[in-house]
Structure formats: C-alpha cells, structure tokens
Structure 1
Amino acid sequence: MNTHTHMHVHNMAITSHITRVGATMALLVVLVLVFICKAQAAAPAVYILGDSLVDVGNNNYLPLSLLKANFPHNGVDLPTGKPTGSFSNGQNAADFLAKKIGLPSPPPYLSLTGGATPITGMSFASGGAGILEETGGFLVKQALSLGKQVEYFTKVHDKLVTQLGPSGAEAHLSKSIFLIVFGSNDWFAYYNVGSVDVKQYSPQQYVDRMVSTFKGFLKTSYGLGARKLVVSGVGAIGCCPIKRKENRTGECSVEINYWSTKYNDGLKIMLEGLKSESLGMNYAYFDTYGAMVDLFQNHEAHGYSEINKACCGIGSLKADGPCTPLATYCSNRTNHVFWDLYHPTETVASLFAGYLYSGSQQFMVPMNVEQLLAL
C-alpha cells in the first residue's frame, strides 16, 4: 500500500471515528436534555378537575353547552392569537400552575381519542360545572359535573394501571398534583332566577350539601390513588362584573359573598377532617376569596386600575353580555382584573398561580404547592 492510500484509509478511519463521536455526543446531549426536563418537573403529572376558571377546552366537545370560549376575542394574547376554549385573553391558572411544576399544559380529556393516556396529566375541567349534579344543567344546559369528572378520572386510572402496572400507576398518582377548583357555579345557580334550590334549601343547608358532596368525591379520588390535593375556595364572586351590575351603585353583592365565605369555612374543616382519616393524603388550600379581596383593596400596588368593569363584553360594566366576536374589548388587558363578566384576565390568573405555587400562609394553608411537592 503506498503512502497516499495509507493516508487516505487513515483519514477515513479518523473521519468515521469523529462521526461516531459526534453521533455519541449528540445522543448524550439528547439524553441530558431529557434528564433535565424530567428533573425539572417537580411532579410526574398534574390532573385538573374544575369549572371554567381552569377549563382548557373540554366544553368545545359538549354539543349542548351554552358556555364555550372557542371563538374570538378569547385567546387574543396567546402567541397564536387564536382561541383555544379557555375563558381568558390568554392562559388560565391551570396552564400557569402546570408550567411552574415543569409540565406541559394538560390537554382536555374530551380531546383525547383512544390510544395511550398522556403521562403528564390532563384536564377534566368544564365551564359551568358544579359540585352538585344539577348545577351545570341549570346554568349552561351541559357541563361535566364534579361527579362526571371523577368518573372520567376513574377511566384514566384504569388506563394508567394497564400502561404502568398497578404499582407503577399507584406511584405515579401518589406523586401527581390534583388541582380542584369548584363551588362558584353552585352559588351562581342558587342565586339565579328560577333556581329550584332556593325553594328547597336554606343557604346553610346548601353549604352543608356542597361540602358533604365534595367530600364524597374527594374520598373516591383518594381511593383511586390521589394523594396531593390542591383545593381552591370560592372567590369573592359577588364582585364579578355580572354581580356588580345588578346593583345600581356597582357594589359587590354582599349576600353571595357572605355565603361563599361560609362555604369556604365548611370546606376548610372538611379538608382537615379528610386528611386525619386518609393515610398519606396531603392538601394545599387556596384562599381565593382572601386573594381577591386583597387584589381589590390593593389593586394599584398590584398594577391594576380597573377592578369593576370587564375588559371584553357589552353594555353596563361590559357585563350585559359575554365576550363574543361582536363584543368590544379593552386595549390594555394588563390593567383589568376581569377579562369578561365572570373570569379573570391572564395576568390575574398568573398572579394567583404564583400564590398557589409558592405563596405564604396568608393565602395558602396549611402549605403551598411547592411544599406539597416536597412531601
């Protein structure tokens, strides 16, 4: 073999060695990235049960529902500028919490068509849904009640057992976060014109019914392996634009706010009791009511100038109708607390998700999500 040929073979060997090293390095980089992404997520999955405050598009798939957000001007501040089915100008609290945990935003359960279950969680939340079975039907014709959402979670649990094996599914669910946001719609339904519940139950009886129904479904979820619950109280819903416009002065509705706090008191006692009787269960309770009142009282410090009026809507306080393509919307969404007649703007959702994740005892008891994840 002459020197030239020898050099050529030698160079080829070096080149192929470099190629192999390059490929190995590329593979290592991929593995490191996968590891980093895995390491960044503080929980294997986040499961969302709730109402329109955390709905990421389930209602798009409910043909009879009167409460949908899959049209403009919803989603106007998303990177795509397109509506997704979330009742917001951008992302909602569920999206922000998932991001803080290091997970993708959970897809709506009803959007999944067979196949494997997404391993990072999903959302069962539905606009108009209530703790009580009759709430959604009365308010918006069709919604996934808390009972229906737990039923769907049962199906997901069974699929996870198939995918991961019984002990794998148990380990996965015990470390996952369950964000549960309910109760507002039950009160909107109770105080709505034509409500049957008002005739049947005193407000205190209604509170007791909500709390005991909720407890039953939390026990079912615990039985299916849920161990880390993040439960939101009902906010100062009497201060939503829809309720303010009922008063000529534009003040908050005192009565619905009062009973929302009474419900929250019952909810907190129930959660304490449930923890004491459920081995290995822990929870973080978010005082949504307190957070809203703080926001109204200190709105300027938080950077908000408009606390009464919706950004998107029509008429008085922009609350005579929902946010539809025919409605007008404000040019500065960041200074409004409310996006439409019921729902907060994206920046408020982000603020509250921050409280959920790492907030102090002022709004998070007995711990926040970060502390819950560390258990």
Structure 2
Amino acid sequence: MKFNVAVTLLLVSLVGIAIQGCHGKVVQFIFGDSLSDVGNNKYLPRSLAQASLPFYGIDFGNGLPNGRFTNGRTVADIIGDNTGLPRPPAFLDPSLNEDVILENGVNYASGGGGILNQTGGYFIQRFPLWKQIELFQGTTELITNKLGKQAAEFFQDARFVVALGSNDFINNYLMPVYSDSWKYNDETFIEYLMETLEQQLRVLHNLGARQLMVFGLGPMGCIPLQRILSTSGQCQERANKLALSFNKAASNLLVNMASKLSNASFKFGDAYDVVNDVIRNPYKYGFNNSDSPCCSLGNIRPALTCLPASTLCEDRSKYVFWDEYHPSDSANELIANELIKKFGFLDVNSHAPAPAPESAIAPSPDE
C-alpha cells in the first residue's frame, strides 16, 4: 500500500484504438498494488491489507467499502471514465466470466503487492506481480477456449498496465525486518528489481501483451506515513531519490525491451513531477493539506488504515491524502486530469458513452 502513483499511471493504458476483429472495444488488463486494487484483497480473507471497513468508499456509489483504498475513485477509474474505457472488475469478483472479460478486461491489482514475491509479506495474503501474471495466464487460456484463433488478436490489441514498485521499497527494502534491506544497497536493489521486472514483462509479452505501459513511482517519501516516521515531519528525501532512480532505470529498461521484442509497444509513464507539484504546492491546486491524512485517529499516528473509530477531516475535497498511504478522490481526480493532458490520452471507445462518476465528494458526516 502507498501513494505509488505508479498506480496513478497505470492508467495510461488508455491511449487506444478500437479492436478490429472479434470484439468492438478496447479493454485493459491492470497489474498493480493498492492504488489500483478495486476489490481483490476484499476476497482474500487472511489479508491484512484491507479497505473493507468504513470510511473507505464513503464517496463512491452507496458509500460502503468496495475494496478501493480511498474514499472514492482510483486514478484508473477516472481516466477510464474520461476516455471511454470500461472499468475492469477485480479478478476475484464472483461475477467474472468470459463475457465480462471480453467487455471489460480484468484488474489483478492487489494491495500490498510488489514486483518481488517477498514484498509485503507481513500482510499475509496479497498478489505479488508474479502471481498476478499467473492469474492472467489462466485468463488467456479461458478466452482462447472461447474465441479460438481470434483470442490472439484480442490480447494483442488490449492495453496492459503494470503499476507496482513503491511497496518494494516502503514495505520491503526500507524496513529492516526484511533481509533485502541488508543484502542490497540502493543501487544493487534497483538492479535486482529491474532484472525481475524484465523477466515478468517478457512473460507478459509471451502471453500476448503488445501494448503495455509501466508506470513509474511518485514521491513516496512524502506520503503521510513517511513524514510521521521522520524526525522533522518533512518528506523523506532518501525515499524520493530511490523513486527517481527506479523511474530512470525502468524507463531505460522499457526502451531497451521495446527495441528487442517483436511487435512490442512498451512504454514508460512517469508522473513524478505532477504528483510532486500537487504535494509541494497544494494551494495552487485548491487543496489546503498535503502532509496528513483526512481519515485518522487524531494524535494516534500512524494509524495505518482508516477505521470506524477514526475522525474525518472537515472537507475531504481539500486533502491530498485520504489515509497514511493513499490519495483522496479529489487528489486522484486532479492527478488523472493532469495525466490525461500530459500523455494525450484519447477517447478509446468513442461509440460507448462513459459511465457517470460514482463519486460526489461531500463534507464529513459529522457536519
């Protein structure tokens, strides 16, 4: 879990062209962490990375928890809505079947997940990227059984998003309880991540992924959790430097892979600057708080999740962060709109009207 805007990024998959063939619309397959999770962890009964209690989801739909680690929508929800893409359901959603996949794609993202299998181990249950890819392999077999030879075209034209990485630092390398924290230094740990990520992307390519974007990390040293753990209350610059180093290495990796893999449009999406500016200059964007969570237990911090006993801020639309890790719906909307402009996202399925937003930010219920 965390403000991994990587996730934020995940959304760029949305640049699209309609599928020419067996199906009439572009769908996306999302691989990510808590910034992109739309309910997978909700179905993992032993997972400690959960968004299943109030006040999660308070500004989405019926106001009840739905598996999203925020008060409203994810960045992916918002970008998809604004570019004509359907919202991919969670892989573990009981309603998922072949027809749903063909219409909407699948979201495999899991709170606490990382590029490395060991990342987030203390959350007990979560899907690391290797597991998410394994689940996608099952999806390819399911769709191939239904479509036959046309399945290859369906997957080749689909959009793939990979948005993980912050957990590998925040919930692994930067925590001394993990062996990776003493086995590697900053440089060799990022090399280890890149070697693993390259293997994972090659497997996705072998499974038919051709249009793929990997999203970079945001200023993870500025999430409320990192600030409260510092002596000064300021951003943890080491964590931010690690994010920038990760982004540089991942960008180089994607350029190299795109030049070597057949018919591969592998791209890197970097939104570090956008998110950093929102955090550093909140008033410029209409926020009045970018260093503490809207949902908290008052002076008891860090309270790692939002709980029924928590107190909500007076105006959720003015807070950049919802909890210690994750941005608010308002911040996600601003980030999504900035990304749409920065990356020039197009309306993918122009013949299909975008769904109405399921969020209306309201004041705290205490008011």
TM range (shorter): 0.7 to 0.9
1:253 and 2:239 aligned: no
Corresponding residue for residue 274 of structure 2: 291
Are the aligned partners of 1:71 and 1:85 in contact in 2 as well (CA < 8 Å)? no
Corresponding residue for residue 98 of structure 1: 80
Greater gyration radius: 1
Mapped partners of 1:284, 1:42: distance in 2 = 24
Identity within the alignment, %: 32
Mapped partners of 1:135, 1:94: distance in 2 = 23
Q: 1:132/1:38 Cα in 2 relative to 1: closer, same or farther (>3 Å)?
A: closer
Mapped partners of 2:227, 2:316: distance in 1 = 20
Q: Deviations over 1:275-305 (max 9, x none)?
A: 1112222244322322221112332221111
Runs (5+) with no aligned partner, structure 2: 1-17, 351-367
Q: How many residues align?
A: 328
Mapped partners of 2:116, 2:291: distance in 1 = 29
Corresponding residue for residue 279 of structure 1: 262
Displacement of 1:71: 1.5
Task: Indicate the SS of the match to 1:65.
Answer: coil
1:220 and 2:206 aligned: no
Within 5 Å, which residues of 2 pair with 1:61-100?
61-100=43-82
Q: Deviations over 1:100-144 (max 9, x none)?
A: 33233211101236743521201100000000010032x412210
Q: 2:253 aligns with which of 253, 256, 270?
A: 270
Task: Indicate the SS of the match to 2:48.
Answer: coil
Moved over 6 A (4+): 371-374
Corresponding residue for residue 320 of structure 1: 303
Which of the pair is proportionally richer in helix?
A: 1
Bigger shift: residues 42-51 or 340-349:
42-51
Letter of the 2:259 counterpart: S
Corresponding residue for residue 44 of structure 1: 26
Corresponding residue for residue 356 of structure 2: none
Corresponding residue for residue 58 of structure 1: 40
Runs (5+) with no aligned partner, structure 1: 1-36
What is the root-mean-square deviation of aligned Cα atoms in Å? 2.4
Mapped partners of 2:176, 2:212: distance in 1 = 34
Q: 1:94/1:303 Cα in 2 relative to 1: closer, same or farther (>3 Å)?
A: same
Within 5 Å, which residues of 2 pair with 1:361-372?
364=343, 368-370=344-346
Displacement of 1:77: 0.6
Q: 1:354 aligns with which of 311, 324, 337?
A: 337
Corresponding residue for residue 158 of structure 2: 176
Q: 2:90 aligns with which of 92, 108, 120?
A: 108
Corresponding residue for residue 124 of structure 1: 108
Are the aligned partners of 1:314 and 1:321 in contact in 2 as well (CA < 8 Å)? no
Are the aligned partners of 2:298 and 2:310 in contact in 1 as well (CA < 8 Å)? no
Mapped partners of 1:170, 1:353: distance in 2 = 30
Mapped partners of 1:214, 1:299: distance in 2 = 33
TM-score by length of 2: 0.83
Corresponding residue for residue 142 of structure 1: 125
Q: 1:101/1:261 Cα in 2 relative to 1: closer, same or farther (>3 Å)?
A: same
Are the aligned partners of 1:179 and 1:230 in contact in 2 as well (CA < 8 Å)? yes
Letter of the 2:205 counterpart: Y
Q: 1:179/1:100 Cα in 2 relative to 1: closer, same or farther (>3 Å)?
A: farther
Task: Indicate the SS of the match to 1:135.
Answer: coil
